Amino acid sequence: MRAAATAFSILATLAFSPLTLAQTPISISAELEQKVIEWRRDLHEHPELSNREFRTSKVLAEHLNALGMKVETGVAHTGVIGVLEGGQPGPVIAMRADMDALPVVEKADVPFKSEAKSEYRGKEVGVMHACGHDLHMSMLMGAAEKLASMKDQLKGTVVFIFQPAEEGAPKGEEGGAELMLKEGLFERYEPEAVFGIHVWSAGTAGHIGYREGPLMASSDRFEITVKGKQTHGSRPWGGVDPIVAAGQIIGSTQTVISRQINITKAPAVVSFGIVEGGIRNNIIPDEVYLEGTIRNFDMDNRAQIFEKLTTTAEMTAKATGAEAHVHIDEGYPVTINNIELTRQMLPTMERVAGKNKVHVNDLVTGAEDFSFFALDVPGLFVFLGVTPEGQDAKSAPSNHSPYFYADESSLKVGTELYVNWALDYSEL
């Protein structure tokens, strides 16, 4: 992580540097837009799961090499980095697109529908870009081509990050943004800021949703093993009932959020998704297994939730004579948009999409591992709507749905947003 003094100096620069913008944003040609669409369709038709993006990385590396960039491959297993050095001095910034697909059988009716199959958790599964990462990559490929064509006028350096395993590395493996940073990505290039876009079925095509500060929740998985003592159901006093203890834990841990955390700072939720225990109606088992998720929008609250969830579960079980063993698997932290960076780049978003198509987004309880990048340097992450104009975006199939569909007109907006972010940031 950067030293606090460095972070402060960046914020101070952003806070007091006026941004003078041309009236007309840089646009891409119809020819490049068509290329972006074709790249998207190819990537969509050939999706690959996390840490297995072998064909994808080859396509990306070939593209960046053809543009004359310095290219790194094999970053965090299959990640690809392209470095474009401008013809004029200026800042270093990073732009990120994720690469992996999901174990989903596609049901959307498109001519480039995925028929790909792979193995996931020991089973053969269909594979689909159900979260739109194919659009993310193709937009960043288009931005790379456009900026490379303007290399002589470009101030500074742009680092293009194509990141694997955003949806999570396979069990027993590391991956994603966290591994890229662990391998020293930002130490090698030292970007001042990082930018990212996520396509969003809940938004109309070409519309941009942004938010200062927290945007997406942290996502953490917890496991609680409740240990009792087996006995016959007709003689519960002869043992210790972990089912009753587990039921009380489920209820009492809800007070962690409602009674033990200052939720005026940020909302949070604790949800149980798995409750397993027992094999017969008249036998009280030895143990019960519970598993769930924690979502939250404040990093300090996050640490308190971990502590209080553990204490509440342990003490509740103890009161019944049982034991609770709690394990919290830390996932993605809160995705936080740097406030000053967001304010500085808002005019860019309004110029590219149109002021009437840029909106403040609601908090999103989904999580994103772009969050790791944005905790290391000031970051800006936005949503780009992809539901066709005239269709109710609120009822459109969501990201991760087998029916997820993206209006490709949004690709032009996203590509131009990356390009203009790079050009405008260099004027700060």
- Please give the CATH architecture assigned to the domain spanning 218-332: 2-Layer Sandwich (3.30)
Beta strand pairing call for 287-296 and 268-276? antiparallel
pLDDT number for residue 2: 40
Q: In the annotation, is 145 catalytic?
A: no
**Torsions phi, psi of 231, nearest 5?**
-160, 170
Q: In the annotation, is 405 catalytic?
A: no
Contact 270, 257 (CB under 8 A): yes
- In three-state secondary structure terms, 280 is coil
- Set 210, 332, 418, 425: catalytic member: 332
How many CA atoms does the CB half-sphere of 423 hold within 13 Å?
28
What tokens does 235 get?
């003689």
Q: pTM value? A: 0.92
Task: Please indicate whether the domains covering 4-216+334-425 and 218-332 agree at the CATH topology level.
Answer: no
End-to-end CA distance of the chain: 23
Domain ranges of the chain: 4-216+334-425, 218-332
Report the top-level CATH class of 4-216+334-425: alpha beta
Q: From the CA atom positions of the chain, what is the Rg in Å?
A: 24
Q: What span, in angstroms and rounded, lies between the C-alpha atoms of 160 and 141?
A: 9
**CB environment 127-147: b (16+ within 10 A), e (fewer):** bbbbbbbbbbbbbbbbbbbbb
Per-residue pLDDT of the chain (428 residues; tens, 9 = 90+): 444 334 444 444 444 444 555 568 999 999 999 999 999 999 999 999 999 999 999 999 999 999 999 999 999 999 999 999 999 999 999 999 999 999 999 999 999 999 999 999 999 999 999 999 999 999 999 999 999 999 999 999 999 999 999 999 999 999 999 999 999 999 999 999 999 999 999 999 999 999 999 999 999 999 999 999 999 999 999 999 999 999 999 999 999 999 999 999 999 999 999 999 999 999 999 999 999 999 999 999 999 999 999 999 999 999 999 999 999 999 999 999 999 999 999 999 999 999 999 999 999 999 999 999 999 999 999 999 999 999 999 999 999 999 999 999 999 999 999 999 999 999 98
- Set 314, 350, 408, 427: catalytic member: 408
What tokens does 74 get?
């094999």
Contact 423, 24 (CB under 8 A): no
Q: How many other CB atoms are found less than 10 A from the CB of residue 89? A: 9
pLDDT number for residue 24: 86
Q: What angle do CA 336, 340, 344 make, to 5 degrees?
A: 115
pLDDT number for residue 23: 65
